[in-house]
Chain A
């Protein structure tokens, strides 16, 4: 497990620092006292079954949900109280959150570029359109695009402001294998090129193995594993991450040794 970075005075804040984060809805703990820090330039996958707490964690990292207790800090800012200090340095992509359907792709990119204070608006939109192969449908309404085209637009929107922290929720869901592979390459390229930090929630284990250099596995709002993908696979004695995930999800056993002994 990675140790949190120190917070001595004057030291740069880690991109993400989560301490004893807890979110309780009525009497259900969606996130139950998790702590972790992310290093700059890392790609970290949040894994877990439905209701494990991934989306709630990401929502608290964006400041859209206020924690019941604990804190989520991004670039040193407490996201419950001072998120506007850092929101321009981050962005988010999810195929489940649409951008306005009636606006064309170009109009959407223009609006978001203005919201994020992007300089050289037209130049950046042209650059992004070329990079994400949007030119053919740049002036078509977003609502009339195919799922693959919509995902490309969402990715372009997420990278418009060249974020230092990128939060991705199932970024390649509903994409065909070829487009999904292309999208992963784009994300890999962006992160390597810019040194951006990425938090990725995904159910696609092959995607996680390829992209992530760290996996935080959640179950019932708690961290049950926090390692690199190869370490996790080795500890659980499985062939790949998919098998590790299935073993944990089906048996509900948090400890790798127990999982192996019952396999």
Chain B
């Protein structure tokens, strides 16, 4: 018995390692599938960069103009352009997640995936990785141009940028999970939900103005959203040079709740689609 116990433990560890390795191979396989799609079409790659670039140019030139005419804008160099870059991190990451999932519906491939050994958590892990890849493809050239044209170095925010980035992408995945769940349950009729859900947060998260601008009741809503803390944090750094650690901790705690709720929503709708039979009818 005494000799058998360590052997059984080793066997169990080995089994877990094999399971993890198999899981990793499946996630990699699916990431590869999305990567092949991105690679197969240059218009898709261009589309990833197009809107962030247009936004950055528009806000960059507006800020340049305002800086020449108002003392506040001159003092707050980087506020608008930083806001737009961070906002685009949230939007591009959410769309990266949601569109990769929609690819499965458009190509009527979701059935194949669901009857393969791929687990829902692995599908989500692959979507998260793909959203990060798309985000890098979209944002790195735009961030470089922001530095070249307007002298705004997003990495100049230092550690705060890493915290901003983490909080925004986690929130985008939560929204991606909810939108994927809604599409699984209601099919392509709910596709526009996946495209538009993130824009509800544009006025609420106070991207370009302080939370205090909102009416009191709406401030409560804004403070329940993790991205609000990111944009408040950006303003705190740019305008006052403040430390934003406490804001980021609050955002991270809220994000944990949102991600859990996003996963629960996705899992619930996936189960619901298996009960209602909509999983096998999905397609264009």
Q: Size of chain B's interface in residues, with CB distance under 8 A?
A: 32
Q: A30 to chain B: which residues have CB within 8 Å?
A: 277
**A61 → chain B, closest Cβ, in Å?**
10
Q: How far is the CA of A102 from the CA of B112 in the complex (A)?
A: 16
Chain A residue nearest to B32 in the complex (CB): A111
Q: A112 to chain B: which residues have CB within 8 Å?
A: 29, 112, 116
**B206 → chain A, closest Cβ, in Å?**
39
**A79 → chain B, closest Cβ, in Å?**
10
- Name the interface residues of B101-141: CB closer than 8 Å to any CB of A: 103, 107-109, 111-119
A62 within 8 A of B: yes
Question: B279, A100: Cβ atoms under 8 Å?
Answer: no
**B165 → chain A, closest Cβ, in Å?**
29
Q: Is the interface of A mostly helix, strand, loop or mixed?
A: mixed
Q: Size of chain A's interface in residues, with CB distance under 8 A?
A: 36
B7 within 8 A of A: no
**A153 → chain B, closest Cβ, in Å?**
12
Q: B36 to chain A: which residues have CB within 8 Å?
A: 102-104, 107, 111
B75 within 8 A of A: no
Q: Is the interface of B mostly helix, strand, loop or mixed?
A: helix
Q: A87 to chain B: which residues have CB within 8 Å?
A: 115-117
Q: B103 to chain A: which residues have CB within 8 Å?
A: 100
Q: B37 to chain A: which residues have CB within 8 Å?
A: 100, 102-103
One of B107, B118, B280 near A55 (C-beta < 8 A): B280
Q: Are A114 and B32 also in contact (CB < 8 A) when A25-B277, A98-B109, A100-B107 are?
A: yes
Q: How far is the CA of A140 from the CA of B4 in the complex (A)?
A: 54
Q: Which residues of B contact A (CB under 8 A)?
A: 22, 25-26, 28-30, 32-33, 36-37, 40-41, 103, 107-109, 111-119, 271, 274-277, 279-280
- Starting from the known contacts A97-B108, A111-B29, 6 additional A-B residue pairs (CB-CB under 8 Å) come to A64-B279, A87-B116, A99-B112, A115-B117, A115-B118, A141-B40
Q: Which residues of A contact B (CB under 8 A)?
A: 23, 25, 30, 55-56, 59, 62-66, 84, 87-88, 90-92, 97-104, 107, 110-117, 141, 157
Interchain Cβ contacts under 8 Å between A and B, 25 examples: A25-B277, A30-B277, A59-B277, A59-B280, A64-B114, A64-B280, A65-B275, A65-B277, A66-B275, A87-B115, A87-B116, A87-B117, A92-B115, A97-B109, A97-B111, A98-B109, A99-B109, A102-B36, A102-B107, A107-B32, A107-B33, A112-B116, A114-B28, A115-B118, A116-B117
